[in-house]
C-alpha cells in the first residue's frame, strides 16, 4: 500500500545563505512539496520560489552518482567509474605524495560560500593534515565586513531586524532578492509595515529602492566617499550621540578634523548623489533612534573595501547605534562548541605566519587565503610551490576573478580532487570527482560560524541516491587516510553531536527544537567597553602603525581609473533564481532565467543601436563576453548590470561547458588587489558594449 504524505520540518539551505524553516512533504521516499513553516524564526511562513523548487536539485538525470577518475587528458571530459575505496585511496596517495615532496602547505583546501557544517570540517581537515592554506572566497564575501568590524569595534555588527527599528539604511544590499546571511527579506518588509523609514544606497533601482523614502543612486565604487560625506554632515550639524562618543570612542577629534574635507558638495562630485540628498539622508539616519545599517556584499567588491567599511562602522558608532536593539548588534552564540576547538586551530599555531597570505601582508585575523594569492603560488611559486588541491562547494573557474588565470592554475596543478553534486567547469578539470549528498539528504547544521548568533537544524528528509556521500563523510574517511586517524570519528555524524554537546542537546533533540539562539545582550559596552586595544570604538585605529593599516578611513581613488575607451561602468547583482554559478541545470529555475542578461538603460541602448533581446558583447580591458540585452531604466545611463555565474551545463564538457562565453569573471582582473584582504575589483569596472 502506498505511503501517506509525511511532513518533515527542516531548514532551507544551499540556495542562498539559507534559514527559512520549511515543511517538506515526502511520499514513497520522494519529496513532493515544500512550503514555509509558519513557526519559522526568520521567515514566519515565507519562502521564495527557489526554496520551493529546491528538491529538483536532487533528481536531475545528470547528477553525479558515482566516484569518477579522469580517463583522458585533463579537462578532456573522459571519465572512468571507480569505487569509493579507490577514489579515497587515490586522493590520499596523491595528497601524501605532494606533502612528502613539498610539505603539507603545498596542498590547498578549497571551499566557496559557506553552505553547511562541512565548511568547518574542511578547515579541520587542512589543520590536521598540516596545511595552513584554506582557499576561500572570503576576500569578496563577508571577511572584509567581519574583520574590519572586529578591528574597529571588536565585533561584527549585524543589523538587528528582530527588534523594532526606526530606520533601515540599506547600503549595497539587495536583501529582498538575496536574503543575505539569513536576513530574510520578509524581516525588512515587516519593519517597513511597522513604520520604519528606509534609505537605499544602490546604483540600481532595486525592489527595495522602489519602496525607499530616500534612494541614493551612487556612482558604483564610491561607497567610501559617500559614507565620509554622511560623517561630515552628522558631525558638522552636531547630530551625533555625544554621550556615546564621549565615553566609548577613540579618536573622535581626529575623525572630525579629517572628514571636514568631505563636504556634501565635494562628495557629490565623486558619487553623483545630489548634495541636498546626502544631507537629507545623513540627517534621517542620525536622528532616527535606533537605526539599523543593513550593508551588503557590494561594498566589499572592490580594492577600497576596507575604507568603505571602516567609514560605515564609524557611522553606526557615532550615531549611537552599536549594541542597541534595532541597531547593529553583536550577536552572541548559543552554548555550542567554539569554532577554534571544532577546527582544531591548536594544531597549527603558526598558521598566520605560514599561510600563503603572510607573504602578502593581509590584515590580521583573516585566516583564509585569497584566491588571487593561491593562484600566484600555483603559477609562480610565490611564496612557495603549491601543487595539490582538494575542493568542495565551490566552482572557481566561474566564481573567481580573472577566470583565465584560474584555468591556467588548475591546468598546472599536479593533482585536483573535487567533491560536487554536478559536473561543473571546475570539476571537469579534476583528476578525481566525488559525488556528494545534498540538502535534504543528510543531517546538517546551518549558520554555524556565521556570526548571527543562531544555528539551524537541517535534518535529513530523504536518502541520497546511489553512491552519493555527504561531504562530511567523505572528509571523515579521507582524514583517516591522510592524517592521524584518532582525530576522526567512526561515524561522521559525531561532528554534529560535537557542535551541540555544550548545549546539552543531542542532534535529534536539536532537530525537534529547530534552532538554537544565543542570548540577547545589548549595551554590553556600558559594563565592559569594547573588545579593542583601547576598549573603545576605534574611529582612529590604535593598531594602524603596528598592522600597517590606515588610521582613518579615506577616499583615495575610484577602484579603476577612468578610461575614455571604456566609458560605461559595469556592475553585477546576484540573481534571485540562482546561487552564484549553481543550478543552471535545474529546469524550473532555468525557465525563469534562461540566458545571462545585461541590463542597459534605454538611452544607452539606443545610442549603441541595441534592442531588447539582442546579443551584446561586453568588454573591459581584461576580456570580453556575450550576454543578452535587457533594456531597462532601473540602471543609470552610464552603468550596465551584467549577470554573474554563467556557464552552460547543456554544452560540451570537453570544453568546460563554455566557461568563457558569458562568464562575468572573464571581465575581471587580479592585477590590482586591495591590500587588506587581497580583494579584486569585481564591480565598478570601466567597460564598453556593442551589438554582436
Q: What residue ranges bind ligand SF4 (CB under 6 A)?
A: 12, 15-16, 18-20, 43, 47-48, 50-51, 179, 184
In whole angstroms, the minimum distance from the beta carbon of 333 to ligand SF4 comes to 20
Name which of ligand MGD, ligand SF4, Mo ion, none residue 19 binds, using a CB cut-off of 5 to 8 Å depending on partner kind: ligand SF4
In whole angstroms, the minimum distance from the beta carbon of 529 to ligand MGD comes to 30
How far apart are the C-alpha atoms of 383 and 396, rounded to whole Å?
Answer: 21
How far apart are the C-alpha atoms of 690 and 567, rounded to whole Å?
Answer: 12
How far apart are the C-alpha atoms of 634 and 641, rounded to whole Å?
Answer: 10
In whole angstroms, the minimum distance from the beta carbon of 470 to ligand MGD comes to 8
- Name the strands in the sheet holding 6-11, side by side, starting at the edge strand that comes first in the sequence: 6-11, 21-27, 30-36
How far apart are the C-alpha atoms of 661 and 664, rounded to whole Å?
Answer: 9
In whole angstroms, the minimum distance from the beta carbon of 16 to ligand MGD comes to 3
Segment lying near ligand MGD (by CB under 6 A), choices 161-169, 475-483, 507-515, 682-690 = 682-690
Segment lying near Mo ion (by CB under 5 A), choices 11-19, 105-113, 413-421, 487-495 = 105-113
In whole angstroms, the minimum distance from the beta carbon of 651 to ligand MGD comes to 15
In sign, the C-alpha dihedral spanning 368, 369, 371, 375 is negative
How far apart are the C-alpha atoms of 525 and 291, rounded to whole Å?
Answer: 18
Contact assessment for residue 173 and residue 414, using Cβ atoms and an 8 Å cutoff? no
How far apart are the C-alpha atoms of 234 and 211, rounded to whole Å?
Answer: 25
In whole angstroms, the minimum distance from the beta carbon of 70 to ligand MGD comes to 18
88 binds Mo ion (CB under 5 A): no
How far apart are the C-alpha atoms of 446 and 458, rounded to whole Å?
Answer: 7
Segment lying near ligand MGD (by CB under 6 A), choices 238-246, 325-333, 355-363, 417-425 = 417-425
In whole angstroms, the minimum distance from the beta carbon of 130 to ligand MGD comes to 23
Segment lying near ligand MGD (by CB under 6 A), choices 32-40, 69-77, 349-357, 418-426 = 418-426
Residue matched to cell numbers 565615553: 247
**Buried-state track 611-649, b at ≥16 Cβ within 10 A, e below 16:** eeebebebbbebbbbebbbbbbebbbeebbbbbbbbbbb
Name which of Mo ion, ligand SF4, ligand MGD, none residue 572 binds, using a CB cut-off of 5 to 8 Å depending on partner kind: ligand MGD
How far apart are the C-alpha atoms of 171 and 311, rounded to whole Å?
Answer: 12
Site string for ligand MGD, 211-240 (x = CB under 6 A): -------x-xx-x-----------------
Say whether 421 sits in a helix, a strand or coil. Answer: coil
| For ligand SF4, the closer CB: 440 or 469 | 440
Segment lying near Mo ion (by CB under 5 A), choices 44-52, 134-142, 569-577, 616-624 = 134-142
In whole angstroms, the minimum distance from the beta carbon of 221 to ligand MGD comes to 5
Closest residue by beta carbon to Mo ion: 141
C-alpha cell at 505: 542537546
| For ligand SF4, the closer CB: 50 or 248 | 50
Say whether 357 sits in a helix, a strand or coil. Answer: helix
| For ligand SF4, the closer CB: 19 or 451 | 19
Instruction: Name which position in 88, 107, 122, 141 contacts Mo ion (CB under 5 A).
Output: 141
**DSSP label at residue 287:** H
542-581 residues in contact with ligand MGD (CB under 6 A) are 571-576, 578-581
Q: What are the DSSP calls for 18-44, one per residue?
A: ---EEEEEEETTEEEEEEE-TT-TTTT
How far apart are the C-alpha atoms of 447 and 42, rounded to whole Å?
Answer: 12
Instruction: Name which position in 11, 17, 351, 636 contacts ligand MGD (CB under 6 A).
Output: 17
Name which of ligand SF4, Mo ion, ligand MGD, none residue 560 binds, using a CB cut-off of 5 to 8 Å depending on partner kind: none
| For ligand SF4, the closer CB: 42 or 317 | 42
638-657 residues in contact with ligand MGD (CB under 6 A) are 644
Angle in degrees, 0-180, between the axes of helices 84-102 and 471-482, rounded to the nearest 10: 50
How far apart are the C-alpha atoms of 317 and 294, rounded to whole Å?
Answer: 14
Q: How far is CA 142 from CA 299, 372, 566, in A?
A: 10, 17, 30
Contact assessment for residue 332 and residue 518, using Cβ atoms and an 8 Å cutoff? yes
Name which of Mo ion, ligand MGD, ligand SF4, none residue 51 binds, using a CB cut-off of 5 to 8 Å depending on partner kind: ligand SF4
Q: Strand 30-36 to strand 79-81: parallel, antiparallel, or no bridges (unpaired)?
A: unpaired
395 binds ligand MGD (CB under 6 A): yes
| For ligand MGD, the closer CB: 217 or 232 | 217
In whole angstroms, the minimum distance from the beta carbon of 582 to ligand SF4 comes to 12
Name which of ligand MGD, ligand SF4, Mo ion, none residue 12 binds, using a CB cut-off of 5 to 8 Å depending on partner kind: ligand SF4
Name which of ligand SF4, ligand MGD, Mo ion, none residue 597 binds, using a CB cut-off of 5 to 8 Å depending on partner kind: none
| For ligand SF4, the closer CB: 45 or 637 | 45
586 binds ligand MGD (CB under 6 A): no
C-alpha cell at 501: 554537546
In whole angstroms, the minimum distance from the beta carbon of 184 to ligand SF4 comes to 6
Name which of Mo ion, ligand SF4, ligand MGD, none residue 221 binds, using a CB cut-off of 5 to 8 Å depending on partner kind: ligand MGD
In whole angstroms, the minimum distance from the beta carbon of 235 to ligand SF4 comes to 38
Name which of ligand MGD, Mo ion, ligand SF4, none residue 471 binds, using a CB cut-off of 5 to 8 Å depending on partner kind: ligand MGD
Give me the residues paired with residue 631 across strands: 600
Q: What is the longest distance spanned by two Cα atoms in the chain?
A: 78
Instruction: Name which position in 70, 115, 258, 536 contacts ligand MGD (CB under 6 A).
Output: 115
Say whether 544 sits in a helix, a strand or coil. Answer: helix
Number of residues that bind ligand MGD (CB under 6 A): 62
Q: What are the DSSP calls for 438-482, one per residue?
A: -TTSS-EEESTTSSSSEEEEE---SPPPTT-B-HHHHHHHHHHHH
Question: Site residues (CB under 5 A) for Mo ion?
Answer: 113, 141
Amino acid at each position: 500500500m502506498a505511503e501517506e504524505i509525511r511532513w518533515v520540518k527542516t531548514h532551507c539551505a544551499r540556495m542562498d545563505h539559507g534559514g527559512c524553516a520549511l515543511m517538506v512533504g515526502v511520499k514513497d521516499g520522494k519529496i513532493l512539496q515544500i512550503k514555509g513553516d509558519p513557526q519559522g524564526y526568520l521567515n514566519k511562513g515565507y519562502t521564495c520560489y527557489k526554496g520551493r523548487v529546491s528538491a529538483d536539485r536532487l533528481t536531475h538525470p545528470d547528477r553525479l552518482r558515482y566516484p569518477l577518475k579522469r580517463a583522458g587528458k585533463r579537462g578532456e571530459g573522459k571519465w572512468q567509474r571507480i569505487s569509493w575505496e579507490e577514489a579515497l585511496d587515490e586522493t590520499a596517495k596523491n595528497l601524501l605524495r605532494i606533502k612528502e615532496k613539498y610539505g603539507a602547505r603545498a596542498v590547498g583546501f578549497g571551499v566557496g560560500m559557506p553552505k553547511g557544517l562541512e565548511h568547518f570540517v574542511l578547515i579541520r581537515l587542512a589543520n590536521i593534515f598540516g596545511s595552513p592554506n584554506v582557499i576561500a572566497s572570503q576576500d569578496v564575501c563577508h571577511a572584509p565586513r567581519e574583520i574590519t568590524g572586529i578591528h574597529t569595534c571588536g565585533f561584527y555588527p549585524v543589523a538587528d531586524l528582530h527588534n523594532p527599528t526606526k530606520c533601515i539604511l540599506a547600503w549595497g544590499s539587495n536583501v529582498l532578492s538575496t536574503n543575505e546571511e539569513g536576513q530574510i527579506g520578509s524581516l525588512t518588509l515587516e519593519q517597513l509595515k511597522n513604520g520604519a523609514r528606509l534609505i537605499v544606497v544602490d546604483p540600481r533601482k532595486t525592489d527595495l529602492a522602489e519602496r525607499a523614502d530616500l534612494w541614493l543612486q551612487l556612482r558604483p565604487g564610491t561607497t567610501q566617499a559617500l559614507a565620509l560625506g554622511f560623517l561630515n554632515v552628522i558631525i558638522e550639524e552636531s547630530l551625533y550621540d555625544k554621550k556615546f562618543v564621549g565615553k566609548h570612542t577613540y579618536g573622535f577629534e581626529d575623525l572630525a578634523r579629517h572628514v571636514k574635507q568631505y563636504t556634501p558638495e565635494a562628495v557629490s562630485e565623486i558619487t553623483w548623489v545630489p548634495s541636498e540628498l546626502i544631507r537629507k539622508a545623513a540627517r534621517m539616519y542620525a536622528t532616527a533612534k535606533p537605526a539599523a545599517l543593513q550593508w551588503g556584499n557590494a561594498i566589499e567588491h572592490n580594492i577600497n573595501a576596507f575604507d568603505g567599511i571602516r567609514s560605515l562602522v564609524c557611522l553606526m558608532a557615532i550615531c549611537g547605534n552599536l549594541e542597541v536593539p534595532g541597531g547593529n548588534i553583536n550577536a552572541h552564540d548559543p552554548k555550542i562548541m567554539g569554532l577554534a576547538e571544532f577546527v582544531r586551530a591548536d594544531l597549527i599555531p603558526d598558521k598566520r605566519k605560514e599561510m600563503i597570505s603572510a607573504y602578502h601582508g593581509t590584515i590580521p585575523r583573516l585566516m583564509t587565503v585569497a584566491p588571487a594569492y593561491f593562484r600566484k603560488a600555483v603559477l609562480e611559486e610565490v611564496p612557495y610551490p603549491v601543487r595539490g588541491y582538494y575542493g568542495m562547494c565551490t566552482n572557481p573557474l566561474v566564481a573567481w576573478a580573472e577566470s583565465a588565470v584560474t584555468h591556467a592554475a588548475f591546468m598546472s596543478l599536479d593533482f585536483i580532487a573535487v567533491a560536487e553534486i554536478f559536473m561543473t567547469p571546475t570539476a571537469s578539470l579534476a583528476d578525481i570527482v566525488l559525488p556528494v549528498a545534498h540538502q535534504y539528504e543528510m543531517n546538517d547544521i546551518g549558520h554555524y560560524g556565521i556570526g548571527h548568533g543562531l544555528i539551524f537544524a537541517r535534518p535529513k528528509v530523504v536518502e541520497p541516491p546511489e553512491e552519493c556521500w555527504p561531504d562530511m563523510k567523505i572528509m571523515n574517511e579521507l582524514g583517516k587516510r591522510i592524517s592521524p586517524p584518532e582525530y576522526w570519528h567512526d561515524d561522521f555524524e559525531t561532528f554534529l553531536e560535537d557542535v551541540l554537546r555544550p548545549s546539552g542537546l543531542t542532534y535529534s533533540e536539536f532537530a525537534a527544537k529547530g534552532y538554537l539562539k544565543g542570548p540577547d545582550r545589548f549595551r554590553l559596552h556600558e559594563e565592559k567597553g569594547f573588545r579593542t586595544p583601547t576598549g573603545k570604538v576605534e574611529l582612529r585605529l590604535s593598531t594602524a602603525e603596528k598592522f600597517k593599516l590606515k588610521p582613518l578611513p579615506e577616499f583615495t581613488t575610484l577602484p579603476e581609473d577612468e578610461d575614455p575607451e571604456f566609458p560605461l561602468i559595469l556592475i553585477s547583482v546576484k540573481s534571485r533564481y540562482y546561487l552564484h554559478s549553481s543550478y543552471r541545470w535545474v529546469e524550473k529555475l532555468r525557465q525563469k532565467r534562461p540566458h545571462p542578461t545585461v541590463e542597459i538603460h534605454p538611452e544607452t541602448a539606443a545610442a549603441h543601436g541595441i534592442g531588447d533581446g539582442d546579443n551584446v558583447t561586453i568588454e573591459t580591458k581584461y576580456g570580453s563576453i556575450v550576454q543578452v540585452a535587457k533594456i531597462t531604466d532601473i540602471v543609470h545611463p552610464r552603468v550596465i548590470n551584467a549577470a554573474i555565474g554563467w556557464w552552460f551545463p547543456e554544452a560540451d564538457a570537453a570544453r568546460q561547458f563554455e566557461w568563457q562565453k558569458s562568464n562575468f569573471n572573464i571581465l575581471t582582473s587580479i592585477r590590482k588587489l586591495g591590500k587588506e584582504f587581497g580583494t579584486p575589483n569585481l564591480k565598478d569596472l570601466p567597460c564598453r558594449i556593442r551589438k554582436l
